[in-house]
Chains A and B, each alone.
Chain A
Amino acid sequence: MSSSRQAPAHQPQPAGKLFQFKLVLLGESAVGKSSLVLRFVKDQFDDYRESTIGAAFLTQTICLDDATTVKFEIWDTAGQERYKSLAPMYYRNANCAVVVYDITQSSSLDKAKSWVKELQRQADPNIVIALAGNKNDLSARRAIATEDAQAYADEAGLLFFETSAKTAANVNELFTSIAKKLPLDMLANPRPRGAGLNTRGIDLNRENREAGCAC
């Protein structure tokens, strides 16, 4: 077990400031959302991965430079997108989102576009959104031209990468460029947020009176 838990290239370095962000995955069923995260967090790939059950929350850390470390809390959909039943609570408070489509399924880009729209309507206005055209290893069956997706991403102001969770192509690049685009300097006082950390409110697991909100 422990041997397979080696993080990829970027081991966390405790030096400097640690910025913690909530990252959500969005996209149609079976485009490879969980696989992208599994590649990023554990550098693993499984051809026959079942739909997401169980762990729907992973963390991974990226060192941007000696002084800056970004920790992603990555939320998976837990399969709720399958019948269009993803709860708004899921992407509420997200600092960044990876909207995934499958380059071999033309309808999956339409679905990705509708997710981007939903995020722009409902999520934090400062959210950083990346569009990922996954399954780039299957380019023989490509149904969506790179230029078309790139043009859409430019127009909508999204980061854009074509990725392959299977070969690991562009996976680390995707997450690193999100980390670089996050408005770190706007967060004068770096602190974790979202993801049940109760940073704005009170912590139900604590018994005393002191944890009251100070905002």
Chain B
Amino acid sequence: MDETYDVIVLGTGLTECILSGLLSVGGKKVLHMDRNDYYGGESASLSLTQLFKKFRDGAAPPATLGKERDYNIDLIPKFMMANGGLVKILTHTDVTRYLEFKQIAGSFVYRDGKIAKVPATEMEALNSPLMGLLEKRRLKKFLDYLKELAYKTTERIVLYMSSMARWGKSPYLYPLYGLGELPQGFARLSAIYGGTYMLDKKVDEIVYEDGKVIGVRSGDEIAKCSQVICDPSYAPGKARKVARVIRAICLLKGPIPNTDNADSLQLIIPQNQVNRSNDIYIASVSASHNVCDKNHQLAIVSTIVETDKPELEIQPGLALLGPITEKFIQIADICEPTDSGEVDQVFLSKSYDATSHFETVCDDVENIYKRVTGHELVLKQRPSQQEEQDMAAHQ
């Protein structure tokens, strides 16, 4: 690794892998390292063994859970908006070549003690118990009005609607084999364009000279570079905690009760329903997404921590899941960088926040890309496979 690179990327979370891919495609010489022996960092999908290693001190997973190969368990609960920023990046970089996607079956809301489906079609809207008839007419008018105006503040609503309209059922998509496939796909893109990958690599120190980064040290080796991009865990001195999030990864025996046996869903418990300031999210996926065996379903209950008893805060969510076979609790700091990185050329990504989609991740990617390269990210369509083969043949 004693070489000189343009950019060294530390951590293989989704944000870092997208940036690594975009920069390699753009001609930068990239070295990408991770202290773990797997891709994805905080946005990884783990095998049963890896999950038990992380949460249960390496205890063996019980045989009742089934085969190791059937499991890819996400650490964070997020879905892709069908019309959102991540889909745009995926299609332009053609990382879709490496991945397969499926819809999330349903979107639900908890209200007045009941789980109600968020209507996906006009028919469902008319049958939905969530609103009275007058409210429905008003909403339709209001949404039409928003669609025409599309002000910044209404962008998210419009995104939800256009995502819903794209495939129906729900506005959400999900990669088969788990979210961890996303960083791996972008890492492959980076590697194909010359990026060097080192997993299971100790990162001892970011090395500075005169207040500017000059490299990264691992043991006796120093890789030189003029810029570093990393997640907050690789440069804790440059990160500040802005909130804490609690996530309970649960293995269930089957679908969540009262959801029409949905094989996948998002269920929101709005803050006002449970006297909180933050919503509680439930994200669930199953064997039809190749993330667990046929006899199980996965669900993550999460929310922003508001008290000193975070586990109690997610109880209303856990109570909706039916019998829970295994539960893994993670309380994580949400960090953001203390500075823009313009002075020392070390650029930190933000932690994965509590939102249920990847839009803020895409914002962070665009933002860091601009600070690193000095220009706006303009997504260009990647050459086709045939064109790439021809280009390689000419090298």
Which residues does A use to contact B, with CB under 8 Å? Answer: 1, 4-5, 42, 50, 53-58, 78-80, 82-85, 87-90, 92, 121-122, 195-196, 198-205, 207, 209, 212-213
Q: A53-B395, A79-B191, A212-B167 are in contact. Are A89 and B196 (CB under 8 A)?
A: no
Residue in contact with B196 in the complex, picked from A79, A198, A213, CB distance below 8 Å: A79
Q: B79 at the A/B interface (Cβ < 8 Å)?
A: no
**Do B199 and A196 touch across chains, with their CB atoms under 8 A apart?**
no
**Do B199 and A85 touch across chains, with their CB atoms under 8 A apart?**
yes
Give chain B residues whose Cβ lies under 8 Å from the Cβ of A207. Answer: 166
Q: B155 at the A/B interface (Cβ < 8 Å)?
A: no
The distance in angstroms between the C-alpha atoms of A87 and B390, with both chains bound, is 25
Closest B-chain residue to A4, C-beta based? B393
- A-B pairs, top 8 by smallest CB distance, nearest first, are A196-B97, A54-B392, A55-B392, A85-B197, A78-B191, A89-B184, A87-B184, A85-B199
Q: B389 at the A/B interface (Cβ < 8 Å)?
A: yes
**Do B392 and A201 touch across chains, with their CB atoms under 8 A apart?**
no
Q: A54-B391, A80-B197 are in contact. Are A201 and B101 (CB under 8 A)?
A: yes
Q: A1-B393, A201-B102, A201-B176 are in contact. Are A196 and B96 (CB under 8 A)?
A: yes
Q: Which residues of chain B (177-224) have a CB below 8 Å from chain A? A: 177, 181, 184-185, 187-188, 191-194, 196-201
Q: Most chain-A Cβ atoms within 10 A of its Cβ — which of B87, B91, B185, B187? A: B187
Give chain A residues whose Cβ lies under 8 Å from the Cβ of B10. Answer: none
Give chain B residues whose Cβ lies under 8 Å from the Cβ of A55. Answer: 388-389, 391-393
The distance in angstroms between the C-alpha atoms of A58 and B169, with both chains bound, is 36
The distance in angstroms between the C-alpha atoms of A196 and B384, with both chains bound, is 12
Give chain B residues whose Cβ lies under 8 Å from the Cβ of A88. Answer: 39, 184
11 additional A-B pairs beyond A195-B97, A200-B100, beta carbons within 8 Å, are: A53-B192, A54-B392, A79-B196, A85-B199, A89-B98, A89-B181, A89-B184, A196-B96, A201-B176, A204-B101, A205-B96
**Do A83 and B391 touch across chains, with their CB atoms under 8 A apart?**
no
Closest-CB distance, B23 to chain A (whole angstroms): 15
**Do B176 and A202 touch across chains, with their CB atoms under 8 A apart?**
no
Q: B99 at the A/B interface (Cβ < 8 Å)?
A: yes
**Do B388 and A54 touch across chains, with their CB atoms under 8 A apart?**
yes
Can you report 21 A-B residue pairs in the complex whose CB atoms are below 8 A from each other? A4-B393, A42-B393, A53-B192, A54-B391, A55-B389, A55-B391, A56-B188, A57-B97, A57-B388, A80-B191, A85-B197, A85-B200, A88-B184, A89-B39, A121-B68, A122-B69, A195-B98, A196-B97, A200-B100, A201-B102, A202-B103
Give chain B residues whose Cβ lies under 8 Å from the Cβ of A50. Answer: 395
Closest A-chain residue to B97, C-beta based? A196
**Do B100 and A201 touch across chains, with their CB atoms under 8 A apart?**
yes
**Do B168 and A212 touch across chains, with their CB atoms under 8 A apart?**
yes
How many residues on the B side are at the interface (Cβ–Cβ under 8 A)? Answer: 46
Q: B385 at the A/B interface (Cβ < 8 Å)?
A: yes
**Do B188 and A87 touch across chains, with their CB atoms under 8 A apart?**
yes
Q: B173 at the A/B interface (Cβ < 8 Å)?
A: yes
Residue in contact with A83 in the complex, picked from B69, B98, B169, B199, CB distance below 8 Å: B199
The distance in angstroms between the C-alpha atoms of A42 and B198, with both chains bound, is 31
Closest-CB distance, A95 to chain B (whole angstroms): 15
**Do A121 and B101 touch across chains, with their CB atoms under 8 A apart?**
no
Closest B-chain residue to A89, C-beta based? B184
Binary per-residue interface labels of chain B (152-185) against chain A in the complex, 1 for a CB within 8 Å, 0 otherwise: 0000000000000011110001001100010011
Q: Is the interface of A mostly helix, strand, loop or mixed?
A: loop
Give chain B residues whose Cβ lies under 8 Å from the Cβ of A84. Answer: 199-200
Give chain B residues whose Cβ lies under 8 Å from the Cβ of A42. Answer: 393
**Do A78 and B188 touch across chains, with their CB atoms under 8 A apart?**
yes
The distance in angstroms between the C-alpha atoms of A53 and B90, with both chains bound, is 21
The distance in angstroms between the C-alpha atoms of A79 and B194, with both chains bound, is 8
Closest A-chain residue to B391, C-beta based? A54
**Do B91 and A205 touch across chains, with their CB atoms under 8 A apart?**
yes
Residue in contact with A204 in the complex, picked from B91, B184, B187, B199, CB distance below 8 Å: B91
**Do B173 and A202 touch across chains, with their CB atoms under 8 A apart?**
yes
Q: B380 at the A/B interface (Cβ < 8 Å)?
A: no
Q: Which residues of chain B (14-53) have a CB below 8 Å from chain A? A: 39
**Do B390 and A1 touch across chains, with their CB atoms under 8 A apart?**
yes
Closest-CB distance, A114 to chain B (whole angstroms): 14
The distance in angstroms between the C-alpha atoms of A55 and B388, with both chains bound, is 6
Give chain B residues whose Cβ lies under 8 Å from the Cβ of A87. Answer: 39, 184, 187-188
Closest-CB distance, B197 to chain A (whole angstroms): 4
The distance in angstroms between the C-alpha atoms of A87 and B393, with both chains bound, is 25
Q: Which residues of chain B (68-108) have a CB below 8 Å from chain A? A: 68-69, 87, 90-91, 94, 96-103
Give chain B residues whose Cβ lies under 8 Å from the Cβ of A209. Answer: 166-168
Residue in contact with A202 in the complex, picked from B102, B187, B391, CB distance below 8 Å: B102
The distance in angstroms between the C-alpha atoms of A121 and B39, with both chains bound, is 18
Q: Most chain-A Cβ atoms within 10 A of its Cβ — which of B87, B98, B201? A: B98
Give chain B residues whose Cβ lies under 8 Å from the Cβ of A203. Answer: 96
